[in-house]
Chains A and B, each alone.
Chain A
Amino acid sequence: MGAGLAYEKFLARFLQTPLGVILASNALDGEDLGLHGLGVSKEILRDAYRAGGDFEELRHAEFVRLIEDIILGRKPPSRDYAARLASGCHGFDRTKTLAVVWPFDVLPRLASAADHRRFSRLTGAMRAPGSDWLRQVASLPAEARYFRPAPRAKFGQSFVWFTSTSNADHYVTSRPNETSPADALRDALGMHQQQPATPQSQLVVLHLPFALLDRLRTARPCFAMAGSHHRFAVRAHDGAEGRISPLGRAVHLGRFADGELRSGAPVRVAMAFSGADFNQDEVVRFDVLGPVTVARGQHHSEDHAAFARALRGRRTDQQLLARLS
């Protein structure tokens, strides 16, 4: 079988999966909205397939990861897609900070030794399972909840999704009484991978200096980031349809669970960075959000397949395949 035909078959199979439909729908929406040039998604998908090497055995999960690798220049060919997808971020208020929501477990590996020592002085505890460290650190006064990143700290491995602190605050402060801060922000950011009762279900919001963005490569989220985040839609679903913005919109998990495809928080992505990207005087402030308590995406009406159906709208498999192959 020729390589071209094998690719067509692979793509057809991939587009029959929920992940394939989510990715393809976002790719076509990105082109329709002028977010990236016509044909760029087609080019990236084909490059990712070639990078897979073993075409017969290429798993869909691996294919999605290869798309990221291609964007990040980790796999040949190097076509500088990152630059082609990058865009300015004038939609943010530069006086504010950026908000990244992550599992709390990550925080100890990001903070410098000097800050660990300061936390220890303040709490009398050291980070350890069962040591109550999390509660102690969470209850520190706001002015003490900050750290300088350890020089070797890695912030993410592919794409880091962020919103602004004011957006994060909005979703936390305007949440219904019965909703926990972690659930509110997890839903608004479409972080369906954060489920209750997993070891990582405690979330923390990190507030990063805005100036950091000047040193990082950032972009409005597009189809190529589907590997790191499945629940976002390139097209806004909050009445701002068609408006080109430097900010993408996550899909609100709570609204989707209620049967509505609605946008959540404005989001943007940065390529993974490290403690070395921070200036000497820059710190990361943080708020512990607590545990995620409500499961999302488990029921058939809100799982991957349901989301894929909602996102594809009236497009058929043939239409998706025709535009991407």
Chain B
Amino acid sequence: MIKPTRADVASLASFDEAHFARWLHDGLNGYFLQAGLGRDAFPTMQPFIGQEADVVQDIAEIYRLLEVTEAGAFRAGLAQALSLTPLEDANIVVIEAMLNLASQIGASDVLSVISEKHRLNWLVEKVADEELFDATLRCVCSLSLNSGPNPTSDMTYGLLLDFIWADAFPSEYAEPVYVAMCRLRPEEAWSHLQAVRDHLDPHYAPLEDDTDDPAAHQERAKLRTRIVDRTYQTIARENFHRMIDVALDEPGNYDQDWYLMTAIRERRVALDGPSPRSVVPRTPTPVAREESTPPPAVDGTAAYLAKYFNRRPTGPSGGDA
């Protein structure tokens, strides 16, 4: 296998965004769609294409050798290449490769292209192709998880909502998409949860008591614990408490809510402070963001429950006492 060196990619050093856009657009189109062209679709880099298990990997290897400014132009060029690719079924393989490449190299520049209305509609609604739908969603999710809150957060957040609202959205992705939304806007976790509720409830809510399937009960309990733990890890303790506050301030049957009840029960260790259970992996240390904020005083579980459950009567009507 012949790996490129920095000297080998010197011919790309003078490329600006438009050059990279043309090189990537023509290259990927030629590679996938023009019979017999293959690696020759990438002028000057052809010895290094076709080396790895797939072409996205080859291009990512070349990208890694670029200087910072060149790499920026490359990422912007990739977004432009995507925008130049017509939305046609024949091009799905090219679009998929561009999205995979964007995901691999962290090219959040493509988010603005994906979010153009006609393109987004085509990607999530018009094409009955679950592979492309998934590649797009994975790309968006990947870019959001890669960066956390940043200037593109709003756009990414809006895109995730578009996916959730799409008819084709698979409920299997509800949890990771919810976590991605929490990463982008940690202080609004409760509203993110509501956005994916319809997808989560059928799989995470406790089964009715008359179901004689302990394994299924146990499996769902694991899922509930997992999503609560992951929320806590993602948004940190302060935001987690805020989330519970917001939830309990809303009218409703909070004691019937599987998420809330799991959150209160499973996070008891953290609220109670150190104990043997607090060192098990299921209760990991909150993320670094918390370091910048002084941790709130440690409540006991009883105090915590009293704070909420004594404040409002349990029952179908909810509301303050």
Asked if A37 is at the interface of the complex by the 8 Å CB criterion, the answer is no
Asked if A62 is at the interface of the complex by the 8 Å CB criterion, the answer is yes
Instruction: Collect the chain A residues with CB atoms within 8 Å of residue B134's CB.
Output: 113, 116-117
Contacting residue for A157 out of B47, B52, B142, B175, CB 8 A: B52
Instruction: Collect the chain B residues with CB atoms within 8 Å of residue A88's CB.
Output: none
Nearest Cβ on chain A to B54's Cβ, whole angstroms? 5
User: How far is it, in angstroms, between the C-alpha of A283 and the C-alpha of B317 when the chains are bound?
Assistant: 52
Nearest Cβ on chain B to A10's Cβ, whole angstroms? 16
Instruction: Collect the chain A residues with CB atoms within 8 Å of residue B93's CB.
Output: 152
A126 touches B173 (CB 8 A): yes
Nearest Cβ on chain A to B55's Cβ, whole angstroms? 6
* CB-contacts of B46-80 with A (<8 A): 46-58, 60, 64
Segment with Cβ contacts to A, from B100-108, B118-126, B257-265? B100-108
Total of A-B residue pairs, C-beta within 8 Å: 126
Segment with Cβ contacts to B, from A101-109, A248-256, A287-295? A101-109
Instruction: Collect the chain B residues with CB atoms within 8 Å of residue A117's CB.
Output: 134, 170, 172-173
Nearest B-chain residue to A128, judged by Cβ = B142
Given known A116-B134, A128-B146, A150-B131, contact A200–B176 (CB-CB < 8 A): no
Nearest Cβ on chain B to A87's Cβ, whole angstroms? 23
Given known A124-B230, A126-B177, A129-B106, contact A102–B138 (CB-CB < 8 A): no
Interface-central residue, B49, B60, B170, by most chain A CB under 10 Å: B170
Given known A128-B145, A157-B52, A228-B51, contact A120–B173 (CB-CB < 8 A): yes
Instruction: Collect the chain B residues with CB atoms within 8 Å of residue A105's CB.
Output: 57, 104
Asked if B133 is at the interface of the complex by the 8 Å CB criterion, the answer is yes
Q: In the complex, given contacts A109-B54, A120-B172, what are 16 additional A-B residue pairs having Cβ atoms less than 8 angstroms apart?
A: A61-B2, A64-B47, A65-B50, A113-B130, A118-B172, A124-B227, A126-B138, A126-B176, A126-B180, A129-B146, A130-B146, A131-B142, A151-B131, A152-B96, A157-B49, A157-B58
Nearest Cβ on chain B to A282's Cβ, whole angstroms? 18
Instruction: Collect the chain A residues with CB atoms within 8 Å of residue B49's CB.
Output: 157
Instruction: Collect the chain A residues with CB atoms within 8 Å of residue B173's CB.
Output: 117, 120, 126
- From DSSP, what is the main secondary structure of chain A's interface residues? mixed
Instruction: Collect the chain B residues with CB atoms within 8 Å of residue A309's CB.
Output: none
Nearest Cβ on chain B to A68's Cβ, whole angstroms? 8
11 examples of A-B residue contacts, CB within 8 angstroms:
A61-B2, A68-B50, A105-B104, A109-B54, A113-B134, A120-B172, A130-B146, A131-B176, A157-B53, A193-B1, A227-B1
- From DSSP, what is the main secondary structure of chain B's interface residues? helix
* CB-contacts of A119-176 with B (<8 A): 120-121, 124-131, 150-152, 154-158
Instruction: Collect the chain B residues with CB atoms within 8 Å of residue A154's CB.
Output: 54-55
* CB-contacts of A62-89 with B (<8 A): 62, 64-65, 68-69, 74
Instruction: Collect the chain A residues with CB atoms within 8 Å of residue B60's CB.
Output: 199
Instruction: Collect the chain B residues with CB atoms within 8 Å of residue A128's CB.
Output: 103, 138, 141-146, 176, 180
User: How far is it, in angstroms, between the C-alpha of A90 and the C-alpha of B5 when the chains are bound?
Assistant: 40
Asked if B312 is at the interface of the complex by the 8 Å CB criterion, the answer is no
Asked if B36 is at the interface of the complex by the 8 Å CB criterion, the answer is yes
Interface size class of B (residues with CB under 8 A): 35 or more
User: How far is it, in angstroms, between the C-alpha of A229 and the C-alpha of B134 when the chains are bound?
Assistant: 33
Asked if B223 is at the interface of the complex by the 8 Å CB criterion, the answer is yes
Asked if B38 is at the interface of the complex by the 8 Å CB criterion, the answer is yes
Instruction: Collect the chain A residues with CB atoms within 8 Å of residue B64's CB.
Output: 199
Contacting residue for A102 out of B38, B48, B53, CB 8 A: B53
Asked if B237 is at the interface of the complex by the 8 Å CB criterion, the answer is no
A126 touches B141 (CB 8 A): yes
Asked if A180 is at the interface of the complex by the 8 Å CB criterion, the answer is no
Asked if B226 is at the interface of the complex by the 8 Å CB criterion, the answer is yes
User: How far is it, in angstroms, between the C-alpha of A130 and the C-alpha of B142 when the chains are bound?
Assistant: 8
Give me the interface of A with B, judged by CB distance under 8 Å: 19, 59, 61-62, 64-65, 68-69, 74, 102-103, 105-106, 108-109, 112-114, 116-118, 120-121, 124-131, 150-152, 154-158, 193, 199-200, 227-230
Nearest Cβ on chain B to A322's Cβ, whole angstroms? 27
Nearest Cβ on chain A to B93's Cβ, whole angstroms? 6
B2 touches A106 (CB 8 A): no
Given known A102-B53, A105-B104, A157-B54, contact A113–B142 (CB-CB < 8 A): no
Given known A65-B47, A106-B54, A129-B142, contact A113–B3 (CB-CB < 8 A): no
B138 touches A116 (CB 8 A): yes
A155 touches B141 (CB 8 A): no
Contacting residue for A109 out of B56, B143, B180, B230, CB 8 A: B56
Nearest Cβ on chain B to A6's Cβ, whole angstroms? 20
B172 touches A193 (CB 8 A): no
Instruction: Collect the chain A residues with CB atoms within 8 Å of residue B142's CB.
Output: 126-129, 131
User: How far is it, in angstroms, between the C-alpha of A206 and the C-alpha of B80 when the chains are bound?
Assistant: 35
A152 touches B145 (CB 8 A): no
Instruction: Collect the chain A residues with CB atoms within 8 Å of residue B106's CB.
Output: 129
